[in-house]
Chains A and B, each alone.
Chain A
Amino acid sequence: MRERILVRRRTRTEVLRLGLVFAAATVWFAVASVPAAAQEGSVGGVVVAAESMRPLADVSVIVEGTGRGTYTNQSGRFLIPGLTGAELTLTVSLIGYRAQTVQARVGQLDLLIELAVSAIDLDEIVVTGTPGEQTRRGLGNTLAVVNATQVVDRAPVSTLSELINGRAAGVAIIHTTGMLGGGNRVRIRGSSSFSLSNEPLIYIDGVRTNNDQTSGPTNQAFGSASISRWNDLNPQDIESIEIIKGPAAATLYGTEASNGVVQIITKRGRAGAPRFDLTIKQGANWFADPQGRLWENFRDVDRDGTVESIDIVDLEKSRGNEIWRTGWLQNYDLSMSGGTDLIRYFLSGNFDNSEGVEPDNDIRKYGVRTNVTVTPSEKWDIRGNVGYVTGRTNLAPEAGWGGLTWTTYFARPDRLDTPRRGFYSGTPESYINAFDIWQNLDRTTAGLTLNHRPFAQLSHRLTVGYDHTREQDNEIQYNDDEWVYFFSFSDRGYRWVRERTVDYTTVDYAATLQLPLTSDIESSTSVGGQFYRRFRQSVSAYGEVFPTPGLTSVNATTQDRTSNETSVENSTIGVYAQEQISWKNRLFLTAAIRGDDNSAFGVDYDFVTYPKVSGSWVISEEPFWNLDLFNTLKLRAAYGESGQQPDAFVAIRTLSPVPGPNNVGTVTPDNLGNPDLGPERGTEVELGFDAALFDDRMGVEFTYYSQKTKDAILLREIAPSSGFSGDQWVNAGEIKNSGIELLLRGTPWQTERHALDLNFTLSTNDNEVLSLGDVTEENFISAGSYLRHQIGYPVGSWFSKRVVSATLGADGIATNLMCDDGKGGSVACGDAPEVYLGDNVPSLEGGFGSTLTLFDNIRLFAQFDFKTGFSKLDGNYRVRCFFFSECRENWFPEEFDPAMIAEIQDAGTYVDVLVDDADFLKLRELSLTYTVPSEFVSRIGARTGSITLAGRNLLTWTKFMGLEPESSFNGGSRGGSFSLWEQNVLPQLAQFVATFNVSF
């Protein structure tokens, strides 16, 4: 406990220091941003929806060529003071509406600007990796855009993955544990790699950043972990997210980009008076209906044939104990933005102090962000971004580690009359008091981008960035007599601490030259070079047995001390060239090539090149177009390649130092190596269209993709008889992913004061192993427990023998087992093959969202999402029935199908009884927002104000027989890239959040 107190004290000091820095910066920017000449003129007016004349709030109004601008208030009004000259041009834009440029006179305060609904905005500026402004119309590939500001405004999201979930077709969020701080896995267009990461890259304002999704203390055991670095980002700071989905679009990002790229664009300031936004969230989360979802466990307590059962949740409740609490969620966010023509800023500070449902699970996190744009002249602008987050995440033990879930899920009636009170291992209070598991975090992400436009046709850009993560992971078991009874392992305590740093360095230079070749044809030539470096270092120490209570450091342990230091470094240098030819700004052809070299390539492998070609055609702007149904129609096609490589050193055969006889230093075989190892290569064809229909009331984005990963890298097991252990990385295989993605959005109903907005995403994924190198179709490569890579099946599919019939004897033992022969018949199980049981990647998923606006200021929002066509292993059932003999099936086998009983009694050869369809539909988010009328909020000097009541994970429809269709291990041998294996983890928690937002 002493350690924890010290940590908290230090954290408060850090926060105080941060607060002072933030306050000083706020004052400085506020002073610096006061318009210098108050006597200068203003321009103002109101912005309304063209059809309904409904005032539009939060519309961006920018004075062209100055960087000055503002947003409309709740009544649609805006005012930009401090302007000089007589005439100016305003750019007025709002997502979902067609942007407009408006000529105005300085001093004109009665502008009425009507924005027309635009289901597809082809002139939206997007991030592509090249400098200069690239609009959607020139893109040959699809690009998923999440309007983060809007989502945060409506939905109860607190993490980046919650922001994305269900809102971008083809981007799957795979949930893991319901524990607060637990990370998720992200898959874009299925699994494209056997053994390398399937996680996309993350860029924040052009800087490549740490995308680890499994960090932290291994509180889940089985090699898995729980904390995701994705959770470090504060959704309130994000303006938008753009997701590049596959090799066809990610070519310019080169090696490592084949899983897609997530571009995060943080908020920036606009010239004008300071704008303050304060958001306060208060809420709660809880384990919904544990009594109804958990199970009775059985045992023959006295071994006399009398079977007794226990429902520990009910029992504890009757004793006045709640196993899981209702966790209090609180989040505070304050931001300030504004500036002058010269300098614009966005500053924010955030404090998150939330509790999980387990009493020792909570987060206390502080974050600040400063984004500054300096525009010394029309030719230059300089953008600087610094984000810092610090805090502590306390985790509860779970999964193979034990913990409240373990001791509750597997409670036993034969432990009722013991100090365990019926719990399987320790009592809840013993886990809570005997252990602490936590991670301290300090993370700084900084980037500086110089944009230079020496003349109208040339723009070039240099981005330099650094992302530094310092994690301190901690586990401790205290030496405490009170809890010795419950924990045989190291019952006198242990301590483990690890300092892990992860550094990403980005240097990115690119230039674009745009030249008109004729009056109709324009050329845009881009070249660029990037250097990326990733360095991970980890230093840890461990020791057991504290001689007396009260000691908590490794130095104070007396037994089995170990220490470890590892580091892994990887660097990439890449260059690219791209040429885009456009005809009349409606037909675009783009070709590019990229070359990369990487420090992880084997000695016999040289650098790699990736080509790309794409085209887009805004056919609806052609003179011959006469289909009135389509207001806009853009056809697009793209082909591209990108790649991915393993970490450095894996290509080299190595030995590692170990202590030998009499503790002398010796070596032992370590990594077998592979001198021919090269990157795997993703190739993709993408076809699709973007369309606006029904007078711009409905937008459609449709994409078909077909992707292949060639030279797929396989972490192939080594036969131990070779003398080496573990795995060897080999280029040996080919994987196919294909499918469609559909995005529909529209406003089917709109009046002056009411509107209904709908959006729907749907994606399919057909994943198949095409080749495994020299492995034939009849054979396979193991992908983990009961998982295979096999030609003709999805990557990492479930396989085992399946019992189809058995005879149950009078003794309750199943005999005469007959198994599926894989050909539609049956065969004696001893001779039966392992058959396909299902795969882990959903073949169909999507989301449906609707926003109903009433009387301008009441908004009801609902978001559903669903996944189908995948299977999950119910590890809780496995533990209870296969190993602990606690299931009703163990004690009353005559009540069940003998084939099922046969699988349970064998306890390992057959897992058909465990692998189940995990299809589900969830009411993910539901919210009601009341926007306080301007006349009320203006009384406190505010510009806008709103109150939102929201719920999360409120309803689930599923046939999955386990506890939860989504929860699973995150990483590790049973939860790696493919496995959906749920065992002793919390389900996704239900949540209620009230949000109060006010802007000044």
Chain B
Amino acid sequence: MSVHTNSESTKRGPAMRTLQRSRRASLLVRVGLVALGLFVTAGCEDLLDVEPPDLIPAEGLAIPENADLLLNGAIGDFDCAYGAYVALTSVMSHEMLDATLTASRWPYDRRNVNPKDSQYGQSSCTGSPGIYTPLSTARWSADFILENLQEWSDSEVEDRQRKVALAAAYSGYSHLLLGEGFCSVAIDLSAELSSQQVIDRAIDRFDVAIQAAQSAGAADVVGFARVGRARAYLDLGQGSTALSDAQAVAAGFEWVATASGDFSRRANRVYAQNGDGPSGGTAMSVGEEYREVEWSGEPDPRVQVSDFIKVNTDGTDLYYQYKYNSLSDPLPIATGDEAQLIVAEVQGGQTAVDIINQLHASAGLDDFEGGSAAEIAAQVIEERRRELWLEGHRFHDIRRLNLPLIPEPGTPYRKGGSYGDDRCFPIPDVEVRNNPNIG
């Protein structure tokens, strides 16, 4: 990693010394009380110098030389937050089940989240992950480098327009997930914003991204941002606006969050929680609605699940998902298939049937024969459930489409208590308590 600062004298170690030292020169003058004192000599100042070997002072870091460093930082923040979002919302939507013995994650499984709960609100994106703080950090990192890139010139930053597009697109996705996953949020210590308001902001970022990417000739980034904007418009119920973006995305397009088994922060979070292998977790199991997904009597390969493994320590029946098979498997963020499903949902009818059948053909499944408009619409949603399984869509689909909650609210929960009816995460108390513009 190469870190630049805006002057030689403020590189990491010396910078800290300078920060700590700058106001000490007056010590001896101002403490005129002591006649004797073995250490009160001119050299004493150095005794107060300390260095943090594992931290980088922020001062002076925002310079063009660090554009790649900061942009990669923003992408890394998003990738980690995205993995956490996919994993945690998979429990809320019952794509997966919690299978832990301790109770800290049961409220997500039970769909009755308390705003005081610190895990979803404050935990990082690693381990048993949180989502509000990681997504907020990812949003800030992307906006921070975006603002700087927009101020710097093309001569200072190589490929600046592409970088602007990337920063804006990642900011857009951070906003989008905050809007989809939470009932309300705040951005940059703002007043409480509704999901719609946050998604509006996401669209603004995607606009910037598409414009910059087109200017840079970066077709891949254009596709990444178009899928995001189409998704955002769909969330807002503006299907016809979503359509043009979705239709413009190539069928085989894919943009992923890369993963690695080398670092916990970079691991595929779903596999870390549930995976058949020595490094796969057993902290989650596959949701009951996903264990034997078939089409025309044949297993649907898009929802590959193991046979029953064992009764886990908490009493949950353990099944493994096979969508992700290692800690290094990437997580799709935006795909041509998703874009096609948006088209199918918006247009319905034969267009939807054709799209469904294209997806079936790819999966080696028999065709969908179609039906009434309602049946086709329902099948599109079912296709989304299968095709986009464990990609962070189902939780918001349940909210957006007002799908029935299974099990029903009030049903006794297998580990204690009963199921609630949460369809989005409440804004965490940690934001409400500490944001001067809320409350």
Interface residues of A (CB under 8 A from B): 400, 402, 424-425, 460, 462, 486-489, 491-492, 507, 509, 511, 527-531, 533, 544-545, 558-560, 562, 565-571, 573, 575-577, 593, 595, 597-599, 603-607, 609, 648-649, 652-671, 673, 716-725, 779-782, 785, 879, 882-885, 890, 905, 907-909, 973
Contact = CB atoms under 8 A, between A and B. Distances in A.
A420 to B, nearest CB: 9
A83 B228 CA distance: 97
A195 B376 CA distance: 59
Given A489-B282, A654-B58, 18 more contacts: A402-B101, A425-B313, A491-B282, A528-B36, A531-B39, A560-B264, A565-B54, A577-B33, A593-B33, A599-B50, A606-B23, A655-B55, A657-B1, A666-B76, A716-B434, A724-B140, A884-B415, A908-B116
Interface of B: 1-3, 16, 19-20, 22-24, 26-27, 30-31, 33-40, 44, 47-59, 61, 69-70, 72-73, 75-77, 79, 99, 101-103, 106-107, 114, 116-118, 121-122, 124, 132-133, 136-137, 139-141, 143-144, 185-190, 258, 260-267, 278-279, 281-283, 312-314, 318, 327, 415-417, 428-431, 433-435, 439
Nearest to B3: A667
A654 B52 CA distance: 10
Contact of B313 (A487, A654, A890): A487
A131 to B, nearest CB: 11
A220 to B, nearest CB: 13
Given A400-B102, A599-B20, A668-B77, A720 B417 contact: no
A527 B33 contact: yes
Most buried by B among A565, A605, A669, A720: A720
Given A545-B279, A559-B278, A569-B50, A668 B137 contact: yes
Most buried by A among B75, B314, B416: B416
B408 to A, nearest CB: 15
Contacts of B57: 652-654
B48 A599 contact: yes
Nearest to A878: B103
24 contacts: A527-B35, A527-B36, A528-B34, A531-B47, A559-B278, A562-B263, A569-B50, A573-B47, A576-B34, A597-B24, A607-B27, A652-B19, A657-B56, A658-B265, A659-B262, A661-B75, A661-B258, A663-B266, A667-B69, A720-B133, A720-B430, A721-B435, A879-B103, A885-B417
A673 B118 CA distance: 22
Contacts of B188: 721-723
In the complex, the 5 A-B pairs of residues with the closest C-beta atoms, listed nearest first = A665-B1, A723-B140, A529-B37, A660-B76, A883-B103
Contacts of A599: 20, 48-50
Contacts of B107: 908
Contact of A909 (B22, B114, B124): B114
A651 to B, nearest CB: 8
Contacts of A782: 429-430, 433
Most buried by A among B106, B327, B417, B428: B417
Given A656-B55, A908-B114, A663 B19 contact: no
B313 A486 contact: yes
Contacts of B3: 667
Most buried by A among B22, B37, B267, B435: B37
Nearest to B432: A719
B280 to A, nearest CB: 9
Contacts of B76: 658-661, 666, 668
B141 A529 contact: no
A365 to B, nearest CB: 32
Given A487-B313, A721-B435, A460 B36 contact: yes
B61 A667 contact: yes
Given A720-B430, A879-B103, A653 B72 contact: no
Contacts of A657: 1, 54, 56
A905 B112 CA distance: 12
Contacts of A425: 101, 313
A527 B34 contact: yes
Most buried by A among B23, B101, B124, B190: B101
A575 B37 contact: yes
A114 to B, nearest CB: 44
A908 B416 CA distance: 13
Contacts of B1: 657, 664-667
Contact of A603 (B22, B35, B50, B260): B22
Nearest to B48: A599
Contact of A462 (B30, B31, B38, B58): B38
A577 B37 CA distance: 10
A802 B228 CA distance: 45
Contacts of A559: 261, 278-279, 327
A203 to B, nearest CB: 18
Contacts of A664: 1, 72
Given A527-B34, A569-B51, A670-B55, A558 B72 contact: no
A832 to B, nearest CB: 15
Contacts of A725: 122, 124, 133, 136-137
Contacts of A671: 55
Nearest to A670: B55
B313 A573 contact: no
A658 B26 CA distance: 38
B36 A607 contact: no
Contacts of A659: 76, 260, 262-263, 265-266
Most buried by B among A604, A661, A717, A908: A661
A412 to B, nearest CB: 9
A721 B37 contact: no
B258 A567 contact: no
A495 to B, nearest CB: 14
A318 to B, nearest CB: 25
Given A527-B35, A719-B430, A721-B189, A885 B416 contact: yes
Contacts of B79: 660-661
Nearest to A781: B433
A492 to B, nearest CB: 6
A137 to B, nearest CB: 26
Contacts of B50: 569-571, 599, 648-649
Given A657-B56, A658-B265, A595 B31 contact: yes
A907 B417 contact: yes
Contacts of A722: 136, 140, 188-189
Contacts of B69: 665-667
B54 A507 contact: no
B435 A884 contact: no
A425 B61 CA distance: 49
Contacts of A669: 137, 140-141
A400 B102 CA distance: 8
A595 B28 CA distance: 10
B144 to A, nearest CB: 7
A724 B114 contact: no
Nearest to B410: A813
A599 B19 CA distance: 10
B44 A573 contact: yes
A213 B50 CA distance: 24
Given A527-B34, A573-B47, A560 B56 contact: no
B416 A511 contact: no
A654 B57 CA distance: 4
Given A560-B264, A571-B48, A668-B137, A721 B124 contact: no
A723 B139 CA distance: 7
Most buried by A among B137, B260, B282, B435: B137
A607 B435 contact: no
A562 B330 CA distance: 20
Nearest to B279: A559
A882 B190 CA distance: 35
Most buried by A among B50, B140, B260: B50
B172 to A, nearest CB: 16
B39 A655 contact: no
Contacts of B140: 669, 722-724
